[in-house]
Structure 1
Amino acid sequence: MSLRQGYLTLFFAIFAVFLNPAWGEDGKTISNIEARQGINVCIWPDYFSITYLSPRTQQLEGIDIDLSHALADDLGVPVNYVKTHFGRFMDDLETGKCDVAMFGVGNTKARQKRINFTQPYLASNMYAVTTKQHPFIKSWSDMDQKGVIICVQKGTYMENAMRKSLKNATLTTVLRPNERELEVLSGRADVFITDYPYGQKMVSVYDWAELLAPPGKTEQFQYAYAVAKGDDQWLQRMDQFVSDIKLDGRLEKAAEHYNLTPIIIRE
């Protein structure tokens, strides 16, 4: 290679770096948080024990409410909550409406194509909720038969998992979180699929609800905090936060307070 060719190669390599959309973005999130003096956290306010707006107190409560305050304290800024849901939160991250999603987000391969995840801090099997008076669905094994309608919330990991596993039952989706309960109560669906935290809500709040646990482990999903792609420094900072709360006991304490100890990941 001639000297001229070497210079040209170097020039185009440097030029390609400047054209890379991720170049110069590293550290941008932390800078924005410091500049605005606040961290914007995406939450779904109907997630019992995770990020839940209590109808009694009208206050947010749950493990990720406590831990998002802990994160804000570590960063030395206040926390601002941005309401979202599973069908929209990736858009909200990508458009900068929030710096991080902290509401028990399942780490799936499909989501990894658009967003980055920290190490996991919770893991849950799937559970089914039906009515105590249902004429024939009394166990998990009763569900997958012709004529049974199973409801899931659109955009959740349960949707893909049930599409893969169901052979005979019909799967239907709803967008809003409380629509699942309404579908079952109205008889339009026989059961809906959820996880451990939301299943605990159903049996503690509604006297009509029957929680059906699988006979063994279902496909287990890990929950992590999610951030937009393109800022590795922010991802590393969030991952360090998860390591910190596992080591210093803050994760354990928050999980115990909201009866989530059985599903925390300690290492």
Structure 2
Amino acid sequence: MCYTLECEYFYNEKVTIMAHVFWIFLIALTSTSILSADVLSTIFETKKIRVCIWPEYYGISYINPRTQELTGIDIDLAKEFAKDLGVSVEFKSSSFATLIQDINTHYCDIAMFAIGHTEERKKYLTLTTPHLASDVYAIAAKSNRRIQTWDDIDKEGVVVAVAKGTYHVKLMQDYLKNAKLLIVDSLHAREQEVEAGRADVFMSDYPFGIYMLEEQEWAKLIKPTKPFHITPYGWAMAQNEPSFEQRVEAFIKAIKQDGRLLSASKRHHLEPIVVSE
């Protein structure tokens, strides 16, 4: 047995090191438990589902700038889903540009803002059975005489704006042979480019096309002369969450059968793009 001050020092150091190792182990164990807890269990434990939305998506998940009210078909359906689960809902602001990151960093449990099914997103996310499907539409200024029909778009000198993060980027990169593609940071920037005359058209979908016709006097809608690229829309969640995925899919099946999907689509003038089967 050693009773010197040197022995006591080394003994205390050993105890301190062991204590640090214990706490590191405990923190690692706790972190692993948190990370391994499946999403559905966490939702029930916290009694809350966190839903990512894009607050600029008219008819889908839109904050009215005048009333600050959050409206849209996916807002209604998120509330219905939370009600079915018996939990509250917390809406969290997201966007198409940050969607993959927001889901995979657990910023939210599910993204519900009419997310187009694309191969790129399928690499990183689980996309649900679609509840909507939309073709592509172009928005031009009424004063723009050069753009009257869809066939006027892909021509020399025409500038086509698309928003970063949307599926329209890849679609237009593949489609346009003569027109110039302009990729901007937001949907609002698309509008500004066309309204200011710096772009001739911007690409959108049915919900946003309806918004432009209802809210912007200067805008006109250019429809494809035949089906151009109909994209299914659903919701997105993290991969490898079988319990949660099963619960979400059961909800989608239920709202298609019991009329809640159709009812919500009518409230927001989206009945033409509902996928009811």
Q: What TM-score do the two structures reach when normalised by structure 2?
A: 0.86
1:31 maps to 41
Counterparts in 2 of 1:171-190, with a 5 A limit?
Answer: 171-190=181-200
The yes-or-no answer on 1:207 pairing with 2:211 is no
Task: Choose the corresponding residue for 1:124, options 129, 134, 137.
Answer: 134
Task: Choose the corresponding residue for 1:251, options 251, 261, 264.
Answer: 261
Return 5+ residue gaps in structure 2 as ranges.
Answer: 1-33
Distance 1:241 1:96 in 2: 21
Distance 1:187 1:46 in 2: 22
Q: Which amino acid is the alignment partner of residue 142 of structure 2?
A: K
Is the 1:25–1:231 contact (alpha carbons within 8 Å) kept by the matching residues of 2? no
Is the 1:129–1:199 contact (alpha carbons within 8 Å) kept by the matching residues of 2? yes
2:58 maps to 48
Runs of 4+ aligned structure 1 residues displaced above 6 Å come to: 24-27
Q: Which amino acid is the alignment partner of residue 70 of structure 1?
A: E
Task: Choose the corresponding residue for 1:78, options 85, 88, 105.
Answer: 88
Cα RMSD between the aligned structures? 1.6
State the identity %.
42
Q: Which amino acid is the alignment partner of residue 232 of structure 2?
A: Q
1:240 is paired with a residue whose SS is helix
Distance 2:161 2:257 in 1: 38
2:76 maps to 66
Distance 2:187 2:53 in 1: 13
Higher relative contact order (CA 8 A, sep 6+): 1
1:207 is paired with a residue whose SS is coil
Is the 1:37–1:78 contact (alpha carbons within 8 Å) kept by the matching residues of 2? yes
Distance 1:116 1:213 in 2: 31
Matched residue count: 246
2:65 is paired with a residue whose SS is coil
Distance 2:65 2:175 in 1: 35
2:187 is paired with a residue whose SS is coil
Distance 2:216 2:229 in 1: 26
Please report how far the alpha carbon of residue 135 of structure 1 lies from its aligned counterpart in structure 2 after TM superposition: 2.7
Relative to its length, the structure with more helix (as a share) is: 2
Distance 1:115 1:175 in 2: 22
1:129 is paired with a residue whose SS is strand
Return 5+ residue gaps in structure 1 as ranges.
Answer: 1-23
Task: Choose the corresponding residue for 1:139, options 149, 157, 176.
Answer: 149
2:16 maps to none
1:226 maps to 236
Q: 1:234 to 1:27 in 2, by over 3 A?
A: farther
Q: Which amino acid is the alignment partner of residue 150 of structure 1?
A: V
The yes-or-no answer on 1:107 pairing with 2:117 is yes
Deviations 1:33-58 (A, max 9, x none): 11222100000000000000011211
Q: Which amino acid is the alignment partner of residue 103 of structure 2?
A: L
Please report how far the alpha carbon of residue 86 of structure 1 lies from its aligned counterpart in structure 2 after TM superposition: 0.4
